[in-house]
Amino acid sequence: MPDGANAMLVRRRRREQAAGPHAASWARGNRPLAVLAAVFVLAQLVLVRPVLGLGWDEIVYVSQVTSHHPAAFFSAPRSRGVSLLVAPVASWSSSVPLLRVYLALLSGLALHLSLCAWRGLFPTRVLVLGGALFASLWMTLFYGPQAMPNYWVAIGALTGVGCFLRAREERPAPVLLCGLAAGAALMAWMRPTDAVYLALPLLVLALVRRRQRLLLALVAGLAAGAVPWVIEAYTSYGGLGERLAEASRIQGGLGWQIAVDDQLRSLGGRTLCRPCTGSTPSPAVTAWWFALPVLAGLGLALAARARRLERTLVPLVCATTAALPYLFMIGYAAPRFLQPAYALLAIPVADALWHLVRAPGGAWRPVAAPLVALALAGHLATQLAVLDGTVSRNAESRRDWGRTADALHRLGVRAPCLLTGREAIPIGYYTGCSSGATSGHNENTTAADILRTAERRPVAHVAPAGGTPPRYARSWPVHRISDLDVRVAPGR
């Protein structure tokens, strides 16, 4: 018996000795990723600033879970994922700075975990550079602390693809299968249709290679994230087909439509390019966009030469399927639409950049290294300049909504109240009113309902100055607020 006990102790010490260097190496590899995530959080708080008011889409998502404002109309393309994400704060506090800090911290933690999913597939230096390339894009910094879905789709894609590849190359451990399912669920939770496009190459690969556990984890994750959206389709939209058709109509009709030029125009800091008119930003702003496919192709060639093709090809294919609908199927653009593609492209691009600056022996290339460093510095400076302009414009527009709300309060329009007309959703939120529309994408009421509401509570219609009001509001007294005509229903 003593001999057996001694043998057990010896085996335990051997396991500990074997695990010790591995654990220390894992911790050393995680440290740079943690530092990158911390810098990302700090950059959001300093550059975007927690005092930035809520935007239009944010208002729709946040208002679903807050008790401080009426819920805004929830259109067919939207999913409840963002609302549930912000619920831990928005459900009990109306503080926007608190919500911003919460989302910034959460987005930094999520970036760190998603990059950790790639440990072992690429060297740590590649993951750090890839994460930095994605995190330093102006749209990543801008949307990280905002209640919007696309960043989280990107995080889900990065996590899911990393876990999928590791589970294929290693033994499919439970933690990797759970990571794959969680990444798929996060994508579907935020935007179910995007999740389908992103997961399609993984589904095909798992089927072809007959990897049943991977396929099951992926399908389970997608189902867990999409089931609430599908249930809501039947309870609120008349069925799944009807919801998809309505979502397509709101997005201008999905079909063959080239939006590549629209995406280019939006890179200058336009959060929504619809209609997308105006000139394309300067080459300094758009150069990185054209460099992406070139560097991705170089990364693919390097992977083929090093006989590790799959770990580079799979994220590139997923990035392509994620980007195709937004480049060739809708008639407008927003930079955030392509965030999942940018996240997946970042790691192969970083791999290519490291190859450009380091020789096989590890020595720095004397010409290429300074040129790449200079190009990256210029790219970062350009991204920060675009971010500064974007934050300034959006902060001013949101302050305008607040000033309009203050003027409406002086006119007696206070909660509980109803606002209709131009920008009724954001102005209504800032005023404390519910919003209504008798036509358009946010149609949720009728003229008769609006008139009945006016008999019980304050109702106002907002229109551009000099514009023609709807018939139900033509006899209401008109007031000029900045460049808006506000018609307030006569007192009860």
- Asked, for residue 302, whether it belongs to a domain, the answer is yes
If asked whether residues 160 and 291 sit together in one domain, one would say: yes
Work out the burial of residue 331: count CB atoms within 10 Å of its CB; fewer than 13 is exposed, 13-18 middle, 19 or more buried.
middle
CA nearest neighbour of 326 among 247, 254, 222, 241: 254
Helix (H, G, I), strand (E, B) or coil at 418: strand
- Asked, for residue 407, whether it belongs to a domain, the answer is yes
If asked whether residues 445 and 353 sit together in one domain, one would say: no
- Asked, for residue 414, whether it belongs to a domain, the answer is yes
Q: Is the peptide bond before 426 cis (omega within 30 degrees of 0)?
A: no
pTM for the predicted model, two decimal places? 0.93
Per the CB < 8 A criterion, the answer to whether 121 and 350 are in contact is no
If asked whether residues 217 and 278 sit together in one domain, one would say: yes
Helix (H, G, I), strand (E, B) or coil at 137: coil
Per the CB < 8 A criterion, the answer to whether 289 and 268 are in contact is no
If asked whether residues 329 and 423 sit together in one domain, one would say: no
> How many domains is the chain partitioned into structurally?
2
- Asked, for residue 420, whether it belongs to a domain, the answer is yes
Q: How remote is the C-alpha of 374 from its chain's centroid?
A: 29
If asked whether residues 161 and 81 sit together in one domain, one would say: yes
pLDDT of residue 21: 56
User: Kindly report the CA angle at 431 between 333 and 96, in degrees rounded to 5?
Assistant: 65
If asked whether residues 52 and 112 sit together in one domain, one would say: yes
Domain span at residue 403 reads 395-488
- Asked, for residue 451, whether it belongs to a domain, the answer is yes
Residue 473: DSSP 8-state: G
If asked whether residues 453 and 349 sit together in one domain, one would say: no
If asked whether residues 134 and 261 sit together in one domain, one would say: yes
Whole-number Å distance between alpha carbons of 337 and 136? 16
- Asked, for residue 349, whether it belongs to a domain, the answer is yes
Whole-number Å distance between alpha carbons of 99 and 61? 13
Of 327, 357, 387, which residue is a domain's last? 357
User: Kindly report the CA angle at 249 between 248 and 251, in degrees rounded to 5?
Assistant: 65
pLDDT of residue 210: 86
Of 332, 357, 382, which residue is a domain's last? 357
- Asked, for residue 438, whether it belongs to a domain, the answer is yes
Q: Is the peptide bond before 275 cis (omega within 30 degrees of 0)?
A: yes
- Asked, for residue 366, whether it belongs to a domain, the answer is no
Of 357, 386, 421, which residue is a domain's last? 357
If asked whether residues 277 and 422 sit together in one domain, one would say: no
CA nearest neighbour of 313 among 207, 223, 204: 204
pLDDT of residue 440: 87
Whole-number Å distance between alpha carbons of 16 and 3? 20
Which stretches of the chain drop beneath a pLDDT of 70? 1-27, 29, 492
If asked whether residues 71 and 140 sit together in one domain, one would say: yes
If asked whether residues 280 and 419 sit together in one domain, one would say: no
If asked whether residues 87 and 191 sit together in one domain, one would say: yes
pLDDT of residue 277: 83
